[in-house]
Amino acid sequence: MKTIAYYSGKIETKNRECFVGNQKVDCPQSGKSFTAKGDKLDLLPQIPSLEKRSDALFFTLLLIVILGFAALALFKIKIFSKTLAEYIRPIWYFILISIAAVAWQYLFGLKIDDNFTSIKISQWIWEICIAASAYKLIKTANFGYGNLFFLAVLYSFIIHGLKITVRYLFYEKTFLYLIDRFLYGSLLVTAIVFIGGSLFLFFRRRGILRF
């Protein structure tokens, strides 16, 4: 059951019973929550009201996010004393590499039967890009903790916003699963930014690293 519970989409629940295909199996007893389709939830409990899909709502939220970032760029609104361009310009190539790594996961990585090794490597790539971005911005733009927070928000929307869009459009996931994955991924991004950024700031203030 550990193998079955790991792969999302394998377990189906019907009347509180679990099935793999047409075969009835014991439901996982690990304390984890699952969606109605058997997708594992890492943070959220089972919330029936979110076990649904709505193209109108999804694309409305997606449009709001896109227009929000467009407004930040167009009107040069400052977030923690920096415009969106000042966040993106020094690290644009790291952002492109991160997007390429995510795209590779879905286009090629999921088709490779290597016990998810390729997927893990592609994830390490965008994680390294996030840490490198924090270092680059601290080095070249004198970023502080407020700026690091917005950097985490920016990368969360870029990487995990892209991921949940792919999952909604091509894997028919519900809002419950999408919200859970976005929150979980955003926590990971935030941890990388703040742990790496805090170390860089500490070393700079102690004179251990020369920027």
71-124 confidence digits (pLDDT tens): 999 999 999 999 999 999 999 999 999 999 999 999 999 889 888 899 999 999
The residues near 147 (Cβ < 8 Å, ≥ 6 apart) are 79, 80, 81, 82, 87, 137, 141
DSSP 44-108: ----GGGS---HHHHHHHHHHHHHHHHHHHHTT-EETTEEHHHHHGGGHHHHHHHHHHHHHHHHT
Confidence of residue 26 (pLDDT cuts 50, 70, 90): low
| Calpha distance 105→101 (Å, rounded) | 6
**Per-residue pLDDT, 116:** 84
Asked whether the beta carbons of 124 and 130 are under 8 A apart, the reply is: no
Provide the 8-state DSSP code for 28: P
**pLDDT per position as a tens digit, 120-175:** 999 999 999 999 999 999 988 888 899 999 999 999 999 999 999 999 999 999 99
Given a cut of 60, whether residue 6 has pLDDT beyond it is no
C-beta contacts of 71-76 below 8 A and 24+ residues apart:
none
The residues near 139 (Cβ < 8 Å, ≥ 6 apart) are 200, 211
Provide the 8-state DSSP code for 110: G
**Per-residue pLDDT, 11:** 62
Confidence of residue 30 (pLDDT cuts 50, 70, 90): low
**Per-residue pLDDT, 21:** 63
Given a cut of 90, whether residue 199 has pLDDT beyond it is no
What are the domain boundaries of the chain? 1-41, 52-205
Work out the mean pLDDT of the chain and round it to a whole number: 87
Its pTM stands at 0.83
| Calpha distance 121→206 (Å, rounded) | 33
Average of pLDDT values for 43-49?
93
Given a cut of 60, whether residue 8 has pLDDT beyond it is no
Structure tokens at 131: 């840490």
